[in-house]
Amino acid sequence: MKRRAFGIGVLAFVLARAARGQFGDLDELMRLLAARRHGEVDFIEQHFLAVLKRPAESSGVMIYDAPNRLEKRTAEPRPEVLLLAGDVLTVQRGNRTRVLDLKAYPAIRPFIEGMRATLAGDRGALEQLFTVDYAGTLAHWRLTLVPRDTEVQKKIARVQIEGARSDLTRVEIFEKDGDRSLMTLRDRPIS
Amino acid sequence: MMSRRARIVGTWLALVVLAAAIAARARYVTDLSAFLPASPTPMQRLLIDQLRVGPASRLILVSLEGADLKTRAEVSVAMAHRLRDDREFASINNGEAVTADRDRAFVFEHRYALSEAVTPQRFTPQGLKAALEATIEGLASPEGLLLKSLVPDDPTGETLQVIDQLARTPAPQSREGVWSSADGARSLLVAETAASGSDTDAQERAQAAIQAAFAGTAAQRVRLRMSGPGVFAVASRASIQRAVVRLSIASSVLVVLILLAVYRSLAALVLGLLPVATGALMGVAAVALVFGAVHGITLGFGITLIGESVDYSVYFFIQSLTGDAEPWQRRLWPTMRLGMLTSVVGFASLLPSGFPGLSQLGAYSISGLIAAAAVTRLVLPELLPRGFAIRDLAPMGARIGRLLEPLRRQDAAIRWGGALVIAAAALAVIAAARGNLWNRELSSLSPISEEAQRYDATLRGDLGAPNVLDLVVVSGADLESVLRETERAAGALEPLIDEHVIGGFDDPATYVPSLATQSARRSSLPEPGVLRANLAQATAGLALDSAQLTPFLRDVEAARDAAPITPGDLRGTSLAAGFNALILHQADRWNALMPLHAANPAAPDIDAARVRSALAASGAGAAQLLDMKHESDALYDGYLHEALRLSLAGLAAIAALLWLALRSLARTARVLAPLILAVFAVTAGLVLFHVQLTILHLVGMLLIVAVGSNYALFFERHTARGGTAPLTLASLAVANICTVIGFGLLSFSGVPVLEALGTTVAPGTLLALLFAALLTPRGSTPADG
C-alpha cells in the first residue's frame, strides 16, 4: 500500500513538473502574442468536405488589431468581409450586411474565439472555451484546442493552431463528421 | 293629500335614487377613446381598431437598462422563462432561440413554396449550375459550417433564400444571446398579451406580471421600463383616475371651506351643496343613459359644474334672506334662469361634436345645470329650516364695491375706451401669433407625455419595428385576393428600396404567399426524370457530386404534390406573430398591412407621392398608402374646425337668447361685451405664455361666455343707477371664487385636456366678472350717459 502511495506521489510530482515546464512555455508564448498590437496576413483557406469532390478554396487578407478586432477580407472566389469587434460579427457579402451576435452562433464561435484569444495572448479566454494543449517550442509551437462546451463538441472535434513565435502560420479545424478546414497564413509581402 | 313640500321633496328624492342607481350601474371607461374620433372614415376606423384591439395593441415593449450586457441578458432570460408560463401572455420574445427550431423546420419544409427564387428557369441545367456554384462558394465561408448539412437536401439554397427574405426587414440585433439596441445600451423583450390592448384590466395584470418577473430576478442596478399601447392605456387611466379623485376631493374641500367662511352656518352649507350633488349625479346618469358608458375624463370636466351650480345656491341664500318684501322667486329667479339657459345653450353647442369627450361634456353639463337650478328653485325653499340665517354679507359686498369704486367712477367713455384698448392689444397679440396659434396635432390631447412617446419610438427603432406612421393597406373580400394584391404591391415597392425612397417594408405574403403564387412555384418544379437529367448536366465539372443529391430529388418531387401553406401552418413558430400583426380580419373584410420602413431612420419622412405613384403604376388598385400621422392630424384639424363652428354657433345662440330676453340690442351688447373682452384677454395671455391652443381651449372660451353671462346679467339687471347693490356684488364674488377654484384646480391635473380647460376658464371667468362689473351696469355705456 505504502509503496503504491509513494508511486502515485512521485508520479504527481513528475506530472506537476512537466505541466509547469509546459505551461511555463505557454505563458511565454502568450506574452509574446499579447505584445503584438497589429498584424496583417494573407490567408488561403481550404474546406475538405465529404459533400464536395474537391476542396472549396478561398483566399484573402486577415487583419488583427489588439485586443479584440479581427477582420477577414476574402477576395476569392467571392468578395466577403467578416468583421469581429467585441462579440459582434458583421458579415458583408455583395450589397448585404448582416450583424450577428457571436453568442447566438455556437458553431462558428470556437474558430473565431480560438483564433482571437490566441492572437490576443489571452490565456484566460482561451481556457474558458477550450482545454488547451501546448506542444513544440516557441520557434515552432502548436496549440490543440478541444471545446469544453458539450453542444460545440457535437460539431467541432478540435482546433489546431500552429505558429512561429508571435506569428500564426496554420489554423486547422477538425469537425466531428470528419470534414476539416485548413487555413494557412503568410505575412504579407511588404509592398 | 300630500303637502306641496312632501310632493316636491319626495319627487326629488325619488329622482336622486333613480339617478344614483343608473350611475352605480354605469360603465366607466378610461381608455383613450375620448381622444379618438367617433365617426371616422373606414380607413381611420381600421387604424383605430388596429391601435385599440389589433395585434399591435397587444405588444408590450420591455427594455432593460443599466448594469452590463451580460447581467441584463441574464435578467431577460430569467424573466422570459417565467413569463412564458403565464397565461396572460400569448408569446414572449427576447431573441432566445426558443422557437428557432420550429421556425427552421417550417422554413425548410416549405422552402419551395416560400422561396422567391423558385421559377422554371431555376431548375434548367444553367439555372441549377448557377445555384450550385453559389452554394459551393457559401460552403467556404464561416457560415459554411451551418450550411453543410443542408446541401444534400437543398443544394440550390432555397432555405437560405427564404431566411434572407424573412430577414429583409431589419430584425433586432442580438447581444449576449438576447435582443438589444444597436448601441448595446438597452436589452429588449417583447411580450404579446393574450388579451387585446383595449382590455385595460388585462393589460394592467400583464404589466404587473412583467414587474413581478423582473423583481423576481433581484437584479442589481438594472432598470425596467415598459412601453406600447397597453402601457399607455394603463398609464393614462391611472393618471385620469388620479386626477379625477384628487381634483374632486381638493375642490370639494376648498369650496366647502369658502362656503363655511361665507355662510358661517352648517345648515346653509349642507343645503348649498344639495344642488351641486344632485346636478353631478344627474349629469352622470344622463351621460350613462345617452352614451352607454361614462368616460373618466367627463367626471374630470364635471368638477367644473361645481363652480356654476354652487353659484346658484350662493345667489339663493345671499339674496333671498335679506328680509326683502319681494320674494326672491320673482326678483332674482328670472335672472338666474336666464343665466342658466345661456349656459345650457352654450353647452348644447358641444352635443353634436364628433369628439366623444366633448359631446359627453355637453350632455353632462346641461343635465347637471338644469338639475342644480331646479333643486335651487324648487327644493331648497322647501327645506329651509325655521329661523334660518346666514351672516350678513352686505359689508363684504360694500368693501368690494369700494375697491371697484375708483374705476367705476371714471367716465363711461374712459372705461369703454380702456376696454377697446385692451381688446385691440389682445387682438394684436393674437394676430401676431396667427400662423402658430393652433396646435394641429392629435397628440396634443394625449395624456401620454412627449418623452414617453419618444421613448416608445426609440424602442420600436431598436426592435426594427416600423414606426407605424406610413402603411400600405390592402383590402379585399377574402384572404387570397388580399395576399395577391399584396404581392403585386410588393413588386411595386421593391424598386423604391433601391431608389432609397423607402428602407423596406413588411409583407404578410412573405410568411404565407397567395395560393396563386404557391401554385406557380409548385409548377416550376420539374418532374423527377427531367430534374435528374438537368442536375446531371449541371454538376458536370462542379465539385459537387450529383450522387450526393438524392435527397434533393426526393424533396422536390414531394414538393410538387405538397398541400399549400395556410396561416394555420405557422402555429408554434415565431413567424405566426409576424403574419398576424399584418393581417386584420374584420367581419367580411380582410386587410393586409404593409408598414413602410424609412430609408434613413434619422429622417423618417417618406416621399408619399412616389409611393403612391409606384402603387398606381403597378395596377395594385386595392393598395392604398396611409400616412397615419397625416390622417390623424387631418382628423383633428377637422374636429378643430368643427369645434370652432360649434363654438361660434353657441355664441350666436347665447346672443340670440339674451336679445330675446332683454329685448334690446344695446343691453345685449352690454352683457356680451365684457365676456368677449375676457375671451380676447385670456387668449392673448395664453399666446404670451407660448401655449398653443387646442380644441379644449376653444371649449374653455365657450365656457367663459356661458358662465360669465350670469355675472353680466346680474350686473345688468340688478344695478340701480349709481351703483350695484352690495349683496349682488358679494354673491357674485363668492360664486366667482368657487368657479375659479374649480377650474383653477384643473390646471394642475396633469391631464392635458383638463389643464387646457382650467387655464382658460379660471382666469377667464375672473376677468369676465371684473369687466362685467366695470362695463355692464346700466348707465355705464357712453350712450346711456
Q: Report pLDDT digits (tens) over B191-222.
A: 888 887 778 889 999 999 999 999 998 888 89
Cβ-defined contact of A88 to B141 (cutoff 8 Å): no
Looking at the structure, tell me whether residues B423 and B277 fall in a common domain: yes
For residue A24, the model assigns a pLDDT of 64
Query: What ipTM goes with this model?
Result: 0.74
Q: Which of B143, B148, B175 sits opposite A179 (nearest CB)?
A: B148
Residue B424 lies in a domain: yes
For residue A21, the model assigns a pLDDT of 46
Contacts of B548 in chain A (CB under 8 A): 51
Looking at the structure, tell me whether residues B164 and B237 fall in a common domain: no
Contacts of B340 (CB under 8 A, 6+ apart): B312, B369, B370, B373, B710
Whether the pLDDT of residue A147 is over 60: the answer is yes
Distance, in Å, from the CA atom of B306 to the CA atom of B288, rounded to the nearest integer, reads: 19
Residue B8 lies in a domain: no
- What one-character-per-residue DSSP string does B431-474 give? HHTGGGSB---GGGG-SS-HHHHHHHHHHHHHTT---SSEEEEE
Q: Which domain holds residue B530?
A: 96-171+516-564
**Touching check for B548 and chain A: CB below 8 Å?**
yes
Looking at the structure, tell me whether residues B524 and B440 fall in a common domain: no
Q: Which of A74, A98, A107 sits opposite B146 (nearest CB)?
A: A107
Contacts of A82 in chain B (CB under 8 A): 142
What are the two backbone dihedrals, phi and then psi, of residue B489, each rounded to the nearest 5 degrees? -65, -40
**Touching check for B164 and chain A: CB below 8 Å?**
yes
**Touching check for B97 and chain A: CB below 8 Å?**
yes
For residue B35, the model assigns a pLDDT of 59
Q: Poorest-confidence range of A93-97, A141-145, B502-506, B582-586?
A: A93-97
Interchain CB contacts (distance < 8 Å): A and B = 80
Distance, in Å, from the CA atom of B409 to the CA atom of B279, rounded to the nearest integer, reads: 40
What are the two backbone dihedrals, phi and then psi, of residue A164, each rounded to the nearest 5 degrees? -125, 115
Q: Are B679 and B771 in contact (CB under 8 A)?
A: no
Contacts of B545 in chain A (CB under 8 A): 51-53
Q: Which of A52, A100, A105 sits opposite B139 (nearest CB)?
A: A52
Q: How far is B167 from chain A (nearest CA, A)?
A: 9
Q: How far is A126 from chain B (nearest CA, A)?
A: 18
**Touching check for A152 and chain B: CB below 8 Å?**
no
Contacts of A100 in chain B (CB under 8 A): 174
Highest mean pLDDT: which range of A4-8, B355-359, B374-378, B706-710: B374-378
Q: CA-based diameter of chain B, in Å?
A: 121
Contacts of B68 in chain A (CB under 8 A): none
Cβ-defined contact of A56 to B144 (cutoff 8 Å): yes
Whether the pLDDT of residue B359 is over 50: the answer is yes
Residue B203 lies in a domain: no
Cβ-defined contact of B141 to A96 (cutoff 8 Å): no
Looking at the structure, tell me whether residues B167 and B253 fall in a common domain: no
Looking at the structure, tell me whether residues B556 and B636 fall in a common domain: no
Distance, in Å, from the CA atom of B444 to the CA atom of B405, rounded to the nearest integer, reads: 43
Looking at the structure, tell me whether residues B276 and B417 fall in a common domain: yes
Whether the pLDDT of residue B9 is over 80: the answer is yes
Looking at the structure, tell me whether residues B328 and B435 fall in a common domain: yes
Residue B348 lies in a domain: yes
- Kindly indicate the confidence band of residue B10, based on its pLDDT and cuts at 50, 70 and 90: very high
Q: Are A174 and A183 in contact (CB under 8 A)?
A: no
Whether the pLDDT of residue A4 is over 60: the answer is no
Cβ burial of B243 (10 Å; 0-12, 13-18, 19+) is: buried
Helices (H), B225-295: 229-263, 266-291
Looking at the structure, tell me whether residues B656 and B761 fall in a common domain: yes
- Kindly indicate the confidence band of residue B38, based on its pLDDT and cuts at 50, 70 and 90: low
Distance, in Å, from the CA atom of B529 to the CA atom of B521, rounded to the nearest integer, reads: 18
3-state secondary structure of B231: helix
Q: Where on the phi/psi map is residue B526: left (φ > 0), alpha (ψ -120 to 50), or beta? A: beta
Residue B351 lies in a domain: yes
pLDDT of A108-146, one tens digit each?
Answer: 777 777 888 888 888 888 888 899 999 888 889 999 999
Residue B332 cell numbers, joined: 332674482
Looking at the structure, tell me whether residues B712 and B640 fall in a common domain: yes
Whether the pLDDT of residue B764 is over 90: the answer is yes
Cβ-defined contact of A82 to B177 (cutoff 8 Å): no
pLDDT of B121-138, one tens digit each?
Answer: 999 999 999 888 888 887
Between positions 638 and 667 of B, the ones with CB within 8 A of A are none
Nearest-Cα residue of chain A relative to residue B174: A101
- Kindly indicate the confidence band of residue A61, based on its pLDDT and cuts at 50, 70 and 90: very high
* Cα angle value B169/B625/B569 (rounded, 5°): 45
**Touching check for A95 and chain B: CB below 8 Å?**
no
Contacts of B328 (CB under 8 A, 6+ apart): B316, B319, B320
**Touching check for B415 and chain A: CB below 8 Å?**
no
Distance, in Å, from the CA atom of B770 to the CA atom of B414, rounded to the nearest integer, reads: 16
Residue B683 lies in a domain: yes
Contacts of B398 (CB under 8 A, 6+ apart): B726, B729
Q: Are B727 and B645 in contact (CB under 8 A)?
A: no
Cβ-defined contact of A51 to B152 (cutoff 8 Å): yes
**Touching check for A24 and chain B: CB below 8 Å?**
no
pLDDT of B565-605, one tens digit each?
Answer: 998 888 777 787 778 778 877 777 788 888 887 776 666 67
pLDDT of B295-333, one tens digit each?
Answer: 877 777 666 666 677 778 877 877 666 555 466 677 778
Residue B510 lies in a domain: no
Short-list B413, B393, B391, CA closest to B401: B393
Cβ-defined contact of A51 to B164 (cutoff 8 Å): no
Distance, in Å, from the CA atom of B206 to the CA atom of B83, rounded to the nearest integer, reads: 9
Cβ-defined contact of B140 to A101 (cutoff 8 Å): no
Which residues does residue B179 pair with via DSSP β-bridges, in sequence order?
A: B174
Looking at the structure, tell me whether residues B143 and B283 fall in a common domain: no
Share of chain B above pLDDT 70, in %: 88
Q: Pseudo-torsion of CA B251, B254, B257, B261, nearest 10°?
A: -120
Q: Which of A51, A78, A103 sits opposite B177 (nearest CB)?
A: A103
Residue B22 lies in a domain: no
Domains contained in chain A, CATH given:
2-187 (2.50.20.10)
- Kindly indicate the confidence band of residue A89, based on its pLDDT and cuts at 50, 70 and 90: confident
Distances in Å between the alpha carbon of A118 and those of A35, A68, A111, A129, B42? 12, 11, 11, 12, 63
Distance, in Å, from the CA atom of B593 to the CA atom of B625, rounded to the nearest integer, reads: 10
Cβ-defined contact of B544 to A58 (cutoff 8 Å): no
CA B728 to chain centre: 43
**Touching check for B551 and chain A: CB below 8 Å?**
no
Q: CA-based diameter of chain A, in Å?
A: 72
Residue range B669-682: mean pLDDT, rounded: 93
Q: Which of A45, A53, A91 sits opposite B545 (nearest CB)?
A: A53
Residue A117 cell numbers, joined: 484569444
For residue B40, the model assigns a pLDDT of 58
For residue A34, the model assigns a pLDDT of 87
Looking at the structure, tell me whether residues B334 and B416 fall in a common domain: yes
Whether the pLDDT of residue B747 is over 70: the answer is yes
Distance, in Å, from the CA atom of B178 to the CA atom of B75, rounded to the nearest integer, reads: 10
3-state secondary structure of B235: helix
Q: How far is A88 from chain B (nearest CA, A)?
A: 8
Q: Are B57 and B165 in contact (CB under 8 A)?
A: no
Nearest-Cα residue of chain A relative to residue B182: A99
Looking at the structure, tell me whether residues B535 and B638 fall in a common domain: no
Q: Poorest-confidence range of B84-88, B163-167, B412-416, B493-497?
A: B163-167
Domains in chain B, number:
2
